[in-house]
A and B are shown apart, each in its own frame.
Chain A
Amino acid sequence: MEIKKTSLNQLHQIHKAKFVEFAGYEMPIQYSKGIIEEHKFTRTHSGIFDVSHMGQLFIYGDHSLTEELEKIFPLDLKNLKLNSSKYSFLMNEDAGIYDDLIITKIDEGYLIILNAACKDKDFEILSNLLGTKFKMDLDNNRSLIAIQGPKSVEILNSIVNGVDQLNFMTGNWFDSDNQKLFVTRSGYTGEDGFEISISNNKAEKFVLNLMKKGAQLIGLGARDTLRLEAGLCLYGHELDINKTPVEANLKWAISKSRLSNGGFIGSQKIINQMQDGAKQVRVGIKPEGRLIAREKTKIFDDKDAQIGEITSGTFGPSVNGPIAMGYVDKDFSKVDTRILLEVRGKKYPANVCELPFYKKSYVKGVN
């Protein structure tokens, strides 16, 4: 299959991107400055991320659509305000996660942002569940640009006036350069920032304008270190079809009002796990010293019994040390539990720690 390119591919090339294949797309892993500098620039200034490979699924419908979606997602969608977003999951009957996603209530229905590697399958699953009653559009004509970091609000607001009035996890349509943009205040770096849905043919010019105001292009490599420092899950690593939201320690994303009555796919398993606890849970892990424990590193207790596995591990540039997340048996999931990581045949000490590794406060109560 031919590799797919986003509307910013040429711009990436001009800025000396190193490309990798990701979910069938040619995507920039880093630019000439490298992952650490790109990471730090995002934390202190403003980074631009091409996330156009992600799925933008528009589903059109009124309250009957809300009712149908409540049978799928563990969310209180009836009480979700217009232009508000929620983090959620598409699950199977065993509460195994097909995908994690952001769903936003818009005038005409819902906008769901899906992972690139999952979007086609998600579309198929949702089409089967919803039937033909609602128009569904996995829109390939729109790019998705994230701008993240403390200077992003000032930079974006100078181009798209009014975005500074958005609260975290809300969005709206804005007019800019004779076209409609859907902007949400959200992101996946642990920083304040925005995601902008924009027509493919306007995306490059829009990004160039952001760059003129001082924002810089950041690759997927830094996006990974940023999200890991922020303690956020990445599908295919922390999350997959064999993991449930309870095991992934994402209970907060399940609406409390939906737990009493269930009625969404996977609800029985979730309710059971909420009561009895999951056998394994996702935790933060801080290796001692400088050692990096990558994905699939085995985790042991001090009696040489395997108690889990790392799902993501790297060097955290803002933490200035190694960080990881993984799953451990429930008995070892308490903060400050000492564990051992097997790297290159030797076992090294580490500690279960609180997430996130790096914390900033998101913008609330702007209006």
Chain B
Amino acid sequence: MSEVKFSKEHEWITLEGDVATIGITKHATEMLGDIVFAELPEKGSNVEKDGTAGVVESTKAASDVYTPVSGEVVDTNQAIVDDPSKINEDPEGSAWFFKLKMKDQSEMDSLMNKEEYDKFAKESAS
């Protein structure tokens, strides 16, 4: 599996072969608070880099989930739809959102690594 990469919209992404797994970062869940609703893209649909690919709602507000890369949705995590609190519990592990079959793996290049993201998150929070 590839190194974890991060987007400015606070998604994380890993790549295995040409299938990317995408979720939202721990930092994002801390900003959102208790998550109580999750909506995921439909399996078989195509999503475009930086386009919306779902919604999460906390007790406070709704936020769009963006996809950091383009591709066809090949799997979604029904467990987080059934119990959205799982997203707060393990956002960067078992509470992944969706898997994409990527078209253009070079889209990964512009994303941040862990160190860069941590710095970005810290700066954007202050």
Interface readout for B20-38 with A: 1 if CB under 8 Å, 0 if not?
A: 0000000000000110110
Residue tally, chain A, CB below 8 Å to B: 17
Chain A residues with Cβ below 8 Å from B55 are 344
A18, chain B: closest CB distance, angstroms = 8
Within 8 A of B (CB), among A8-29: 29
In the complex with contacts A221-B60, A292-B57, A34-B34 CB distance below 8 A: yes
Contact across chains for A35 and B37 when beta carbons are under 8 A apart: no
- Name the A residues within 8 Å of B2 (CB-CB): none
Is A35 in contact with B62, judged by CB distance below 8 angstroms? Answer: no
Q: Check: B84 CB closer than 8 A to any chain A CB.
A: yes
Chain A positions within 8 Å of B84 at CB level: 290
Q: Is the interface of B mostly helix, strand, loop or mixed?
A: mixed
**A357 close to B (CB within 8 Å):** no
How far, in whole Å, are A36 and B57 apart by their CA atoms in the complex?
13
B37-A221 in contact (CB<8A): no
Interface contact B57-A315, CB-CB below 8 Å:
yes
1/0 contact string of B61-96 vs chain A (CB within 8 Å): 110000000000000000001001100000000000
Would you call A221 and B62 a contact (CB within 8 A)? no
Q: Does A193 lie at the interface of the complex (its beta carbon under 8 Å from any beta carbon of B)?
A: no
Bound Cα distance A317, B84 (Å) = 13
Q: With A29-B60, A315-B59 given, is the CB distance from A221 to B33 under 8 Å?
A: yes
Q: How far is the CA of A292 from the CA of B84 in the complex (A)?
A: 13
Residue ranges of B at the interface with A (Cβ–Cβ < 8 Å): 33-34, 36-37, 55, 57-62, 81, 84-85
Q: A: which residues have CB within 8 A of B?
A: 29-30, 34-37, 221, 225, 290-292, 294, 314-315, 317, 322, 344
